Structure 1
Amino acid sequence: MEELNSTFLYCDQLVRDFEKVIETPVVNKSSVYYTGVDLGTAYIVLAVLDENYQPVAGAYRFASVVKDGMVVDYIGAIRIVKELKQEIEEKLGTELIYAAAALPPGTDSLDSGAIKNVVQAAGFEITNVLDEPTAANAVLKIKDGAIVDIGGGTTGIAILQDGKVIYVADEPTGGTHFSLVIAGAYGMPFEEADVYKRDAKNHRELQPIVRPVIEKVSSIISRHVRDYPAKEIYLVGGTCCLAGIEDVIAKQTGLPTYKPENPMFVTPLGIALSCTQEEL
């Protein structure tokens, strides 16, 4: 437990530092800037680190250019990434050159080219493309266990042993499915349900409504971890911001389940930490 606490101390501090620089960028000059581009189903996030890999700026925007982990609006994705890039560049007074990106595990043969092209078309030199749970582990630094990235469209799973990924999987169940259930229960449009879900004040009320979807996610996790020595689950991804989701997953899977204070920004920061100056 002491080791777990130290892991989340680093993770949570990094996320808190990032949240601060989203509002107030650090404009001290750095010899190089490293950008992580996270093309999510619900949000596109850019995280910028300095030469010492410390957060200096960031920006994010709600978007629907990705569905089930795949880019479905190529032009829209380029436009948003380019606009966020320019927004940060104006605040920092410099050009952002190097970027890394990530995609759901197991989809590299299907969509890595599209994601790479989006980042390049937005004006970056792309230096790394990795799977999302592996990116998250650059922040979590887990040696053994399962990292579960529950995003807007998919649930990605990476099982680690001795700090190395030994298995990855991805299935199309995520925040979109939560919003659909809420829309049906309340008789409201999907977009309105999605906004309602993201308001933490509504989480306690929504728990019994979305519990079947959480249980579905739990069954996905259980199926993928049962043949591997994963004794703990670590949650990341925007959908994990839902209060109490870790308790339901722990009960359904029978495995201790943990999440950082703000799981939404773990993967983007991990992507940025994986950025280098060597173009792919």
Structure 2
Amino acid sequence: MSTDRTLRDFAELIRSGDVLPAERRAPGPLKIGVDLGTANLVLAVLDAANRPVAGTTYRSTVVRDGIVVDYIGAVRAVREMKAALEERLGEPLIRAAAAIPPGIHSGSTKAIGNVVEAADFELAEIVDEPAAAARFLGIADGAVVDVGGGTTGISVLKGGEVLASFDEATGGTHMTLVLAGARGVSFEEAEAEKLDPAAERDVFAVIRPVADKMASIVARFLEAYPDLDSVHIVGGACSFSDFEQVFAKQTGRRIVKPAEPLLVTPLGIAMFPQATGEK
């Protein structure tokens, strides 16, 4: 199954609240990815063959730029999402992985893990967000940019290993702040307008300087890797239709954006190796 098809199937499971029937799942324990984003929390449930089984999202402000700023709120939100999925599935969810932006402080990494464990999961691993996205996309060699709510993370991979990573505190939240200032409205009103598909063209005209800044950050980082022809971009903040054009112009490289870019990283997080040595 193609990655875009998998993403669309997962998005439909979230939208509908359905689950993949047990008879269609690969035998083995379910795997869970916990994506604690600045604007969105996502829980992804996969079967042993890494096929989407169920998922849910939650708009939240408990994390900022990869740092848990409301620990109690984060634990409560993840517990509620876990309980809702367990009710749909009719079985407990046990092992989960989480992710962090590249280069985050070790204390913040520990806090992310603590949230997952406090929500009654066994912590399987903590992975860099762009590396998780690369795992889902099947990228062994190339560059992955994860444009989240609070940060833009970049990872360069070779032979499946991360050669270099970088993270800049510029993301979707900064787009909303620019839009709020231009419109003279509250952050919440600007966020609602940013997420309105009918307003996309007008919104992007205002927030394009933020996208230009993100693209320039990526372009500078990739100057050390002139042989990289393609850059894969994921994350909710890159959902605008014209986003790829801005990055292509700034970087001079082919930009690849999958369907449902917000959901790439949580699916990659959930694709952690099983204890049996699955690779």
Classify the TM-score, shorter chain.
Answer: over 0.9
What is the 5 A alignment of 1:1-280?
A: 10-22=2-14, 23=16, 24-28=18-22, 31-107=28-104, 109-228=106-225, 229-274=227-272, 276-277=274-275
Deviation, structure 1 residue 253: 1.6
For 1:243, the aligned partner's letter is S
Shift of 1:76: 0.5
Inter-partner Cα distance in structure 2 for 1:164 and 1:108:
21
Structure 1 residues 132-167: Cα deviation after superposition (integer angstroms, max 9, x where no partner): 001001111123321000000000000122332110
Amino acid at match of 2:151: T
Cα distance in 2, alignment partners of residues 275 and 65 from structure 1: 28
Q: 5+ unaligned residues in a row in structure 1: which ranges?
A: 1-8
Give every structure 1 segment of 4 or more consecutive aligned residues whose post-TM-superposition deviation is greater than 3 Å.
none
Aligned Cα root-mean-square deviation (Å): 1.5
Shift of 1:95: 0.3
CA distance in 2, matches of 1:58, 1:132: 18
Q: CA deviation at 1:27?
A: 3.9
The 3-state SS of whatever aligns with 1:196 is helix
**Equivalent residues of 1:41, 1:66 under 8 A apart:** yes
The answer on whether the counterparts of 2:11 and 2:260 sit within 8 Å (CA) in structure 1 is no
Opposite residue 85 of structure 1, the aligned amino acid is: K
- Supply the distance in 2 between the matched residues of 1:114 and 1:34 (Cα, whole angstroms): 21
Q: Secondary structure at the match of 2:22?
A: coil
Q: Give the gaps of 5 or more residues in structure 2.
A: none
Cα contact 2:141–2:156 (8 A) shared by 1: yes
- Are the aligned partners of 1:98 and 1:277 in contact in 2 as well (CA < 8 Å)? no
TM-score (norm: length of structure 1):
0.92
Native 8 Å contact 1:78 1:119 kept in 2: yes
**2: distance between equivalents of 1:218 and 1:51?**
36
The residue identity in structure 2 corresponding to 1:19 is A
Q: 1:275: how far off?
A: 5.2
- The size of the alignment, in residue pairs, is 270
TM-score normalised over the length of structure 2: 0.93
Shift, 1:108, TM fit:
5.2
Residues 25-62 of structure 1, C-alpha deviations (whole Å, 9 max, x = no match): 12416541100000000000000012222111100100
Contact 1:99/1:275, CA 8 A, preserved across alignment: no
Secondary structure of the residue aligned to 1:158 is strand
CA distance in 1, matches of 2:81, 2:239: 23
State how far apart, in whole Å, the 1-side matches of 2:47 and 2:260 are: 22
1:4 is aligned to: none
* Equivalent-residue separation in structure 2 for 1:247 and 1:140 (angstroms): 21
Residue 269 of structure 1 and its aligned partner are, at CA, apart by: 0.2
Q: Could you give the per-residue CA deviations for residues 220-279 of structure 1, whole angstroms, max 9, x where no partner exists?
A: 10121111243221100010112211111111121111101110000000001125348x
- Secondary structure of the structure 2 residue equivalent to 1:128: strand
- Which piece of structure 1 moves more, 143-152 or 117-126? 143-152
